[in-house]
Amino acid sequence: MQDLSNYRKSYDKSELLESTIPEDPINLFNRWFHETEDFGGTEEVNAMTVSTIGLDGFPKARVVLLKKYNEEGFIFYTNYNSEKGKAIANNPNVCLSFFWHSMERQVIIKGIAQRTAEIVSDNYFDSRPDGSKLGAIVSNQSEVVPSRTFLEENLKQLENEYESMVIPRPKHWGGFLVVPHEVEFWQGRPNRLHDRIRYTSQDDFSWKIERLSP
């Protein structure tokens, strides 16, 4: 067994104090996102882990790309017939998490996932490169395939079929909007006394702010 008990790191790059945070989590997320983008040296700052409860009863987490966020919530795109798509259809309670190690920060979002309007999915699909559009059509995401060659041959067939044509968005592919219920911000601090601030949505659309013990 590999012993990792000596893997230790001191966190001392920043702090998270109630006196310097906004009243809502989206503004703080926006601040952290752009600080990471500008100073953190992270290649894909929009990479996030989406955790769902599968049809088999097990939780499953995978990394996807955040494509939009605003006061409504956080949007990503996927195949609705994929494992994650079916899991969300069965149980829309999901968790999103961002780990920006270069900034010693995490953001953990509990929320409810719902399909975006079709026009939102259409507009994003239209903005994608043709190769990505065809990839979304050719891939029966999460299904067993016989080989890599099988996928590549099907892609070549679609390339010929849609040559010089508009590629339509398949109806089984689109966006999910995760409406946040709880957002936790984690800032690494020395001696493992990390800062943890939790925002919880209230019935009057305000946010309750609490500090959590590390």
Catalytic residue of the set 115, 192, 196, 211: 192
Determine which of 90-94, 108-112, 143-147 has the lowest per-residue pLDDT on average: 143-147
Residue 108 contacts residue 183 (beta carbons within 8 Å): yes
pLDDT in tens, 11-29: 889 999 999 999 999 999 9
- Catalytic, 148? Answer no
List of domains in the chain: 18-212 (2.30.110.10)
Binned at pLDDT 50, 70 and 90, residue 197 comes out as: very high
pLDDT in tens, 115-131: 999 999 999 999 999 99
The DSSP H or E segment spanning 121 is helix 118-127
Tell me the C-alpha to C-alpha distance, in Å, between residue 146 and each of 19, 149, 150, 153, 193.
57, 8, 7, 12, 50
Distance CA 67, CA 82 (A): 18
* C-alpha count within 13 angstroms, C-beta hemisphere, residue 205: 2
Give the predicted TM-score (pTM) of the model: 0.92
